[in-house]
Chains A and B, each alone.
Chain A
Amino acid sequence: MLETDRNQLHKLVEEALPELDMVIGWGQSTDSFQTTPVFVRDAKQISQLTLGPFCSQNLTGYLVKPPALDAAPKEGAKPIGICVKGCDSRSLVALIQEKFLTRERVRIFGIPCRGTVDWNKVGKLVDLSNVKSATVEEDVLVVDDSQTTHRIKLEEVLARKCYGCRYPNPLIQDVTIGEPATPRSTSIESSYRDVDRLDAKPLEERLDFWQSELDRCIRCYACRNACPLCVCQDKCIIESREPRWLTQRVGIPEKFLFHFIHAMHLAGRCTGCGECERACPMDIPVTLIKEKLNKIMEERLGYSAGLDVEAVPPLLTFNPGDTEI
């Protein structure tokens, strides 16, 4: 099935490439299991494109981050092709909604997603230091570590965000590759289980939890830079000296404030793609912070980001009849 889909993708990209500036997709990294973003500018590169549960990166950020592409197509500029999963498509919607991109600027190769692999989880079951090959057979991940062949149920090693995924199929796209996927979640409750689990703990335990988690933060800003909606990039106030919100210190208060800033700037905008958490080298569940805010937005203001290009993010508007306190 994967093979068919991949062939279909190659064929579609091949057809479209002459009209496009490039196609951003996933390809094999230098190791035998992870993918890396590839930028197909030349037909020779098309064969690099792959898809499937290893394609974890959300590529939409590349559309708006430096070296930046202009939101408004310049005279004669060709659109950019991009491969998106369901969650990635929400980021794309949000970027179009916030006018960082126009819909015409992108040619969207939509890929229904059955979940992406979290290699940290695989690493708990298999020694990943010398993987020879990793493949997917239906719903099983097959990892050959040059001594044994491990067969792991995909369902056990998916990224945390996937278990609460309500939108596995791209919400905007020009073409679809493969069959639609079935959502793993259809309700608020089942989408925010991890949030509820932490919320169920006493306040002190929550503080302890975040203190010990955020203690590991090394302020490398991978979470921020991986976020497709962290559009400030080089102008981020976490580093800015004018105004100056934070010092260079690496005490827990600084890390708390850093993550508060990140979260508050995404409040009502975060599409829950989980890139921040995936990018974190220190395995801090940073997406969870944003998930809580997403839940608040959804429950209190009936808003989920990245579903509607016409919608106004809830904190950029108001309703005189809003309830309070």
Chain B
Amino acid sequence: MTDEGPRSIAPADGTAADTQGIKIVGFLCNWCSYGGADTAGVCRFKQPTDLRVVRIPCTGRMDPLFIAKSLIYGVDGVLVSGCHPRDCHYAVGNFYARRRMEAFKAFLPFMGIDTRRFKYTWVSASEGQQWQKVVTEFSEQIHELGPNPGVRRQTGENSKVSTGLR
């Protein structure tokens, strides 16, 4: 076990590390949407390749701050998907999630972050085709928006203090 926490992020020189295309992070609940994505795979429903899935037990686990973190630090899009309302494996996890994400979605643009970079949706384990549709549409939307500049990495004045290093 390493002793440092999740590492952060901004390379010191402030450049984006990956120039090879769009990256979308998908937070999928284990019971429905992760299964839906599996179903889509089993059915060979072709999808864009930009999505990287993080498996979470339930959308109720979804702290909007994970989304904030992703978008601030330059992930191009965030897709959250869970069980349909009333269908939550944990009965009510997605009800909590819905309120939180709804509020967060309304809040994002106030801070200058394009709300189109964040989407949440409900896809059940049987809805492979729906998953294909969701991923395809969202990926296309993010491609249209282009790479996410995130927020400016360097500060106006503090950054200009000579860091001591070349």
Instruction: Confirm or deny: B85 has a beta carbon within 8 angstroms of a beta carbon on chain A.
Output: yes
List of B residues within 8 angstroms of A204 by Cβ: 112
Instruction: Confirm or deny: B111 has a beta carbon within 8 angstroms of a beta carbon on chain A.
Output: yes
List of B residues within 8 angstroms of A289 by Cβ: 110-111
List of A residues within 8 angstroms of B72 by Cβ: 253, 256-257, 260
Instruction: Confirm or deny: B102 has a beta carbon within 8 angstroms of a beta carbon on chain A.
Output: yes
Binds A, one of B26-34, B37-45, B49-57, B147-155: B147-155
A293 touches B95 (CB 8 A): no
Binds A, one of B1-9, B15-23, B125-133, B136-144: B1-9
- Given the complex of chains A and B, what is the CA–CA distance between A246 and B69 in angstroms? 10
| A254 (CB) vs chain B CBs: closest residue | B8
Query: How many of chain A's residues have a CB under 8 angstroms from any CB in B?
Result: 51
B155 touches A251 (CB 8 A): yes
Instruction: Confirm or deny: A74 has a beta carbon within 8 angstroms of a beta carbon on chain B.
Output: no
B68 → chain A, closest Cβ, in Å?
A: 4
List of A residues within 8 angstroms of B5 by Cβ: 241-244
Known pairs A251-B153, A260-B111, A292-B110; A318 contacts B8 (CB<8 A): no
Listed A/B pairs (30) with beta-carbon separation below 8 Å: A204-B112, A207-B113, A209-B112, A210-B112, A215-B155, A215-B158, A245-B6, A246-B8, A247-B8, A251-B159, A253-B150, A256-B151, A257-B65, A257-B68, A257-B69, A260-B68, A261-B68, A267-B103, A268-B103, A289-B110, A292-B107, A296-B106, A297-B103, A300-B106, A315-B100, A315-B103, A318-B95, A319-B95, A320-B86, A322-B98
* New A-B pairs, 9, CB < 8 Å, besides A256-B68, A292-B110: A209-B112, A243-B6, A244-B6, A247-B8, A267-B107, A296-B106, A300-B103, A318-B96, A322-B102
